Chain A
Amino acid sequence: MVPVPITQGNLKRQEDRVEAYSRSEKLAGLFLLLALLGGIVFLLLVGQGKGWFQKTQTFLVRFPQSYNLEPGAAVKMFNTEIGTVSRLRIVRVKDDNQVEVTIRVYNDYVHLIRGNSVAQVESPTILGSEYLSISPGSYAYPPIPPFGTIPSRIKKTLADYIEEFQPEENLRKAQQLLTNLTELSEQFKQHEVKVRSILTQLDKALTSLASGKGTIGKLLMDQDLYTRLQQSVSRLEKILKNAEKITVDVKAGSGQLPPLLVRVNEVIDNLQCILRDVQKAAGQLPELMETADDAARTGREVIDAVKANPLIRMTLPKPPADETIHLEPRSLP
């Protein structure tokens, strides 16, 4: 080995050789970096989809049993997943063992869980597992705070439905109904002849009505009725003409009225005399009113002065204020 002389140029070349990476090394590093970044992005995307990073709030629901509900089961509202069941445990509430279900609801839906929301375990129709369904609460009720208990409804089992249905009782009722129907049809058979005869008579009556027979038939179909009605109208016209004549006679008889009018005039004269007296008295009325007004004013001033006295003012109740009336719609007629 021939020792390389230590010069400034040689030192620079040696440093470059030590620090620089080869092309393949750089590519491998870049690939690793990209894979790492890709992995992180993938994880973020999956987490976003699964709702790992979503903020949740915890609520409690209590049931008499678990209804096969398991941790991880979905919590739904309007058949839309809004959270998951995180824990199930048996707790004792007032001498009664109950299953306490802890659920986590996504923050976006927390405002829908209110005082009148109801939780219920639902079973899938064919496939799948049990899930917890919560009904949305109305805004008239306050929201349930975190770790608060949502009211629950007991799920009915098949045995409950069967018990409710009471098949024996219903069968007995159905039998009774059939027996009643049979009896009714037999009774109807007995009266069938009578019904037929009634229908025949009704048919005959309608036929005679249409052909103008009988009182109603004549009324409906008889042309004579129309003629008689016309005659009646012409008679009514004659009566009205007579009434006009009578009115003319009454006018003629009114000549006897003047003596009556003279008496009425006398009465009116008397009335005028009375009115003159009243007018005379009325002339004194303003003076009287003025005196009364003065007296009332003096009285008021005295009362005001008495009210102004500190001793009386202290004991007087506070007068009500003159306020602007607010017209409440419930007070409107």
Chain B
Amino acid sequence: MGQECLSQKRVILRLALAVVLAGLTAVLTCGCGRRPNPYEQQLSRAVEAGVRGQELFSEGQTRRAERSFNRSLEMHAGLDDPAGTAKQLNNLGAAAAAREDLAQAATYFRQALFVNEQLGDVAAAALNLANLAALAEKTGDRLQAARYLQDALNRARLSGTPQVLGQILCQAAGAALAENDLGTAAALLAEAAPASAHPAVRGPWHYQQGRLHLAGGDLHQAGAFFHQALAADRTALNRLGMGADLLGLAEVEEKQGNLGQAFLYASRAFRLYLAGQRWNQARQSLETLRRLNQMGRLGQDLPALEQQLQAARKTAAPCPGEVDPKQGAVGRRQ
């Protein structure tokens, strides 16, 4: 009886193993033998190129990012995918802005806005307008910036996309803080609070809260918010955001009289900007470092940092034969 029972169990086990193996074989065969879909494949290639461009942009490799965006744009245009085309036009604008070519950036953003308006994509159009507002603010045209931002806010509220609304509210709060309008900034940030859990909003929201508390004189709270912003931006790999957070922390420490700690934070920001090839921001950080060094008589080796900046600029300069991204696919399209 015992032997019979044992042999029955073995048979059942073997049968189960055979079924599992057959299932695996079937799954593997079905998976590998998928029907080809050229349109989907090409679209996925276009998306991959766009994602690659975003990664490069985040790493500060603006020119390589622009090439990826251009390639993605060409593919999206070739597939008659207006939504993807608008996205890549916007991203090319962001890259042009990073190269400090603000006129070219504005052209790209306007083209993206036009396509998004045709498509009725209110959220994407709101982001295009917010980007145009950022450019106008940069060029000192505050009136135009306020108009763009108000339009962007209205559309973001209409779109019902919490992430986009949060991003634009944070930008508007930053603009209000620049005008020293703490009440408006606090109200805008309170409106953005529900969206602050989103990875794209978490960093900017905490950063603007930090700036608000810094302006209000609450240094302890400001420091706490900048630390949270730094953690959020690190998770999202937003290097430039991290740099801004570190400079905010440096400002808090400077106001508390801890000049050594402030220098440490500012030097971390300087290195981040250097790695991200943001020369203007790196130069501004260097100015902050110089001021802190003089005020605190810290005796730090600043010429070495200046040499680092110059060497990095030389290394990153384009070769004479390199193609100008301005003459890329979009340039030709125009």
Contact = CB atoms under 8 A, between A and B. Distances in A.
A178 interface: no
Given A140-B213, A309-B32, A311-B31, A328 B204 contact: yes
Contacts of B280: 333
Given A327-B130, A333-B98, A308 B34 contact: yes
A138 B185 CA distance: 12
B21 to A, nearest CB: 13
B91 A138 contact: no
Contacts of A237: none
A328 B134 contact: yes
Given A320-B51, A328-B171, A333-B281, A310 B27 contact: yes
Nearest to A325: B94
A23 B196 CA distance: 80
B28 interface: yes
B90 A309 contact: no
Interface in B121-180: 124, 127-128, 130-131, 134-135, 137-138, 167-168, 170-171, 174-175
B265 interface: no
Given A141-B216, A329-B138, A330-B174, A324 B28 contact: no
Contact of B216 (A116, A322, A333): A116
B25 to A, nearest CB: 11
B305 interface: no
A333 B130 contact: no
B275 interface: no
B204 A139 contact: no
A330 B241 contact: yes
Interface in A20-51: none
Nearest to B178: A329
Nearest to A309: B31
Interface string B26-63: 01101111100000010010010011001101000000
A330 B207 contact: yes
B227 interface: no
Contact of A139 (B28, B50, B98, B186): B186
B301 to A, nearest CB: 26
B211 to A, nearest CB: 9
Contacts of A304: 41, 44
B168 to A, nearest CB: 8
Contacts, number: 119
A259 interface: no
Interface string A307-333: 011111100000111111111111111
Given A116-B216, A304-B41, A310-B31, A333 B100 contact: yes
Contacts of B94: 325, 327
A268 to B, nearest CB: 22
A322 B50 contact: yes
Q: Which of A305, A326, A331 has the most CB of B within 10 A?
A: A326
Interface in B84-116: 84, 86-87, 90-91, 93-94, 97-98, 100, 112
Contacts of A328: 134, 167, 170-171, 204, 240-241
A322 B213 contact: no
Contacts of B112: 324
A52 to B, nearest CB: 33
B183 A331 contact: no
Contacts of B72: 322
Contacts of B134: 327-329, 332
A184 interface: no
A264 interface: no
For chain B, the bracket of interface size reads 35 or more
Nearest to A306: B32
Contacts of A333: 97-98, 100, 278-281
B204 A324 contact: no
Interface string B262-273: 000000000000
B54 A322 contact: yes
B84 A322 contact: yes
B171 A138 contact: no
Given A322-B51, A327-B94, A328-B134, A140 B200 contact: no
B153 to A, nearest CB: 13
Given A140-B215, A332-B97, A324 B90 contact: yes
Contacts of A313: 31
A324 B31 contact: no
B54 A325 contact: yes
A305 to B, nearest CB: 5
Given A323-B54, A324-B87, A309 B27 contact: yes
B252 interface: no
B193 interface: no
Closest CB pairs A-B (n = 3): A309-B31, A139-B183, A331-B240
Interface of B: 24, 27-28, 30-34, 41, 44, 47, 50-51, 54-55, 57, 72, 84, 86-87, 90-91, 93-94, 97-98, 100, 112, 124, 127-128, 130-131, 134-135, 137-138, 167-168, 170-171, 174-175, 182-183, 185-187, 200, 204, 207, 212-213, 215-216, 218, 238, 240-241, 244, 278-281
Interface of A: 116, 138-141, 304-306, 308-313, 319-333
29 contacts: A138-B182, A138-B183, A140-B183, A140-B185, A140-B215, A140-B218, A306-B32, A308-B31, A309-B27, A309-B31, A310-B30, A311-B28, A320-B54, A324-B86, A325-B131, A326-B167, A326-B200, A328-B134, A328-B170, A329-B138, A329-B171, A330-B207, A330-B244, A331-B240, A331-B241, A332-B97, A332-B98, A333-B278, A333-B280
Given A140-B186, A305-B32, A331-B98, 16 more contacts: A139-B187, A305-B31, A309-B27, A309-B31, A312-B31, A324-B87, A324-B90, A325-B57, A325-B91, A326-B200, A327-B130, A328-B170, A329-B138, A330-B204, A332-B134, A333-B281
